[in-house]
Chains A and B, each alone.
Chain A
Amino acid sequence: MPKHILVAYVEDKPGVLNRVASLFRRRAFNIESLTVGRTEQDGVSRMTIVVDADELMARRIEANLYKLVNVLRVDNVTDKPAVARDLALIKVSAANGKRAEILQLADVFRARVVDIEEKSLMLEVTGSEDKIEGILNVLRPFGIIEMVRTGLVAMARGSEAVSANPPQLPAEVTEAPLVDSGLALAHSV
């Protein structure tokens, strides 16, 4: 199934991550990765959610996310010009004089060495998921001792924000946002 990258702005309140995770579980939507972090605005967190879903399913996920009261805004950045980055820490075996060879390979992938021990190296590499897969493939023959990835974070290119920060609407809203049959909220609000 194709991949979709959704960026969700949520209120920074207890239990919100649980609500999002519960939604994916309940509706049997398949999460590949989910990252959460703070944003430039107080009280607003940003989630990057990568899902295995076709176009229609992605729109259903979007609509269901909007049903969560604490979700402020959802953007599908899959087909927008955007920067998507994954970060990996890789501890690789460097015994038997392989260190120089590994350092060369790390250089090709612009990975940084963050720790050196007698028999191992720890590399930090940032990039697209393909690039991370690439370095993992070349390092595997040396012996990967430990590896962790953060999951994707994404942001659209350009000086305009893909989505302005969510307007603080009063509860008794009068102006209703526009939607099309594909469920996506028009990004005019």
Chain B
Amino acid sequence: MKLTGAEIVWEVLQREGVKVVFGYPGGAILPTYDAMTKYPGIHHVLVRHEQGATHMADGFARASGQVGVAIATSGPGATNMVTGIATAMMDSSPMVCITGQVGSKAIGSDAFQETDVTGVTLPVTKHNYLVTKAQDVARTLREAFYIARSGRPGPVLVDITKDAQQLAAEFDWEAAAPRLPGYRPNLRALPSEYQTALDLINSAKRPLILAGQGVIKANATRQVLELAEKAQVPIALTLLGIGGIPAAHPLNLGMMGMHGEAWVNQAIQQADLLIACGMRFDDRVTGNLRTYAAQAKKIHIEVDPSEVNKNVRVDAALMGDLGEVLDEVLPSVRAADHSTWLDHITSLKGDAAVRDIQSLPDSGHLYAAHVINDIWRLTREGDPIVVTDVGQHQMWEAQYFRHEEPRSLITSGGLGTMGFALPAAVGAKFARPDKEVWVIAGDGGFQMTMAELATVAQEKVKVNIAIINNAYLGMVRQWQEFFYEKRYAATPLLGPDFVKLADAFGLRGLRVTQRSEVQAAVEAARHHDGSVVIDFQVEQEDAVFPMVPAGADLDAMIRRPKPQPQLDVLSETGGDDEWEMPR
């Protein structure tokens, strides 16, 4: 079958099972857009900025587990994608980006809208391609999909010259099968590694599982829980691991790391064995590496060999798919009673519950943590998908929204990309139209990509958008408060009237300033047919507790002040004794 390169693009997308693509047309990609009209089975979402297209494809991928697809033109179209590609790379999100490129004869001539896109994206893609011939389009795209979703997933970019889109070539799906002699996504550990790991597991007295996003990506919730239950091992989660283990499970301790509960981090520091499952010992999780879990042996179950021994030296490394590795390990794991250790962890909680912001009396102030916890209580029966932005609200979400299902929290962890939430939520809703989808964003990050409200309106996507509005770049302000003597350089933030903004896009807008109004607003948003923007005007100078200062020991945490009766601790920002610095 003789087809143009542009038609071959859509033929491959169709055969790869793609139903929706996110993109923005332009000169160098025009032939592909023109051919799109012949393929009505694939829905195209017109974004307002190519960064939005990549976050949507990323959100789609994280919500569905399938490859997300974004399309853009050459030059500025492609460079606008870079932030979204880097976001997907850091969080191992499977994505294929297709960009137009100037004609192959014009390459290198600084032609209009020419950029060396494969050069620009080389360090932020799992792999990338420049295609200059129509006959290479099919195989290259097939390889791109295969690489994006196999092994440790990631973004792959395919840059196709305009002439490769226009010219015709023979299209044969079978003959275009991937040929990747050097690509080996499936690795196995040596039997001796398994033996070492099993000996460690079966002899541990104070074991702990560290569960990361790999649990979700590998669909290994069942196996991790089986290990935890059989050997009575408590589980701590990374930010991206949230949802991989049900929050309600008795062995789930919750989030670890910089804003994890103090007692979870103390448990890690006191453990004698860490079983790392699909996580990569990020600095936000370990704190000071020299003192990190010094008493613990470490087992690393990981799909990517380059992650092993990168930050933390391990005693055994089990390479491969997490579920398959655990299936191999589980029959030889001995049932154990670690009740002393579990009781000890419970005792580490101390007065954490008293200090918890949920224990603060309703003083008439609106706290972000209360808003997020209320949204959880009001929506929990449907296990909604929450897509967060980056900053304080993201940490409060992780602390106060309890996720019971994998893929129900979508957040930019590794790159920490502000502006991620709204577009990623659009992608998530396309992946899971059956699910209630909430955006939880700060007023800063929301303003970075709020143009995508137009995409929301045009596509009639139903997402509920909670803006946690404190008129500050809150997390930066918190660091300035703690570490820069409250010099608030460039963090006070004037936002628009978000209710009017929603109105301008033809969406509904609501404003909430009191805790008593939260429930009504959340319910109104849920029962409204279209998307709703809620402007939660929260306490301006609240801080996320507990906190491990960057580079400090993991258990040296700044803790939330004890609530004092009749004294509104958090709104009085005068004294230095509001929060306790670590010992």
Residues of A within 8 A of B (CB): 10-11, 14-15, 18-19, 22, 26, 56, 59-60, 63-64, 66-73, 166-174, 176-183, 185-186
Contacts of A179 in B (CB 8 A): 187-190, 305, 317, 319
**Complex CA–CA separation, A169 to B317 (angstroms):** 25
Interface centre among A56, A178, A182, A185 (most CB of B within 10 A): A178
B309:A69 contact, CB within 8 angstroms: no
Contacts of B177 in A (CB 8 A): 170-171
Since A69-B126, A172-B146, A181-B308 are in contact, a sample of 18 more A-B pairs with Cβ atoms closer than 8 Å, ordered by chain A residue number, is: A59-B309, A64-B306, A66-B306, A72-B181, A167-B181, A171-B146, A171-B177, A171-B178, A176-B184, A176-B187, A178-B187, A178-B189, A179-B317, A180-B189, A181-B309, A181-B317, A182-B309, A183-B305
**Complex CA–CA separation, A70 to B180 (angstroms):** 8
Contacts of A15 in B (CB 8 A): 118, 130
A16 (CB) vs chain B CBs: closest residue: B182
A69:B127 contact, CB within 8 angstroms: yes
Interface centre among A69, A177, A183 (most CB of B within 10 A): A69
Within the complex, which residue of A69, A176, A181, A182 is in contact with B182, where a contact is CB–CB below 8 Å?
A69
User: A56-B309, A66-B305, A180-B192 known; A166 and B186 CB under 8 Å?
Assistant: no
B197 (CB) vs chain A CBs: closest residue: A181
Return B161 CB to nearest CB of chain A, in Å.
13
**Complex CA–CA separation, A14 to B133 (angstroms):** 14
Within the complex, which residue of B143, B180, B306 is in contact with A67, where a contact is CB–CB below 8 Å?
B306
Contacting A at CB under 8 A, from B305-348, are: 305-306, 308-310, 313-317, 319-320
**Complex CA–CA separation, A166 to B183 (angstroms):** 11
B306:A171 contact, CB within 8 angstroms: no
B147 (CB) vs chain A CBs: closest residue: A69
B308:A63 contact, CB within 8 angstroms: yes
**Complex CA–CA separation, A181 to B398 (angstroms):** 32
User: A15-B118, A18-B122, A170-B177 known; A177 and B187 CB under 8 Å?
Assistant: yes
Contacting A at CB under 8 A, from B428-454, are: none
Q: Is B542 an interface residue (CB 8 A)?
A: no
B180:A183 contact, CB within 8 angstroms: no
Q: Is B179 an interface residue (CB 8 A)?
A: yes
**Complex CA–CA separation, A185 to B119 (angstroms):** 29
**Complex CA–CA separation, A186 to B314 (angstroms):** 19
Q: Could you give 26 example pairs across A and B, Cβ below 8 Å?
A: A11-B181, A15-B130, A18-B122, A60-B309, A60-B310, A63-B305, A63-B308, A66-B306, A69-B126, A72-B181, A72-B182, A169-B181, A170-B177, A171-B143, A171-B177, A173-B184, A174-B186, A176-B184, A177-B187, A178-B190, A179-B190, A180-B193, A181-B193, A181-B308, A181-B314, A183-B317
Q: Is B361 an interface residue (CB 8 A)?
A: no
**Complex CA–CA separation, A60 to B192 (angstroms):** 20
User: A66-B305, A186-B190 known; A171 and B179 CB under 8 Å?
Assistant: yes
Return A186 CB to nearest CB of chain B, in Å.
7
Within the complex, which residue of B122, B179, B186, B306 is in contact with A176, where a contact is CB–CB below 8 Å?
B186
A166:B182 contact, CB within 8 angstroms: yes
B308 (CB) vs chain A CBs: closest residue: A183
B314 (CB) vs chain A CBs: closest residue: A181
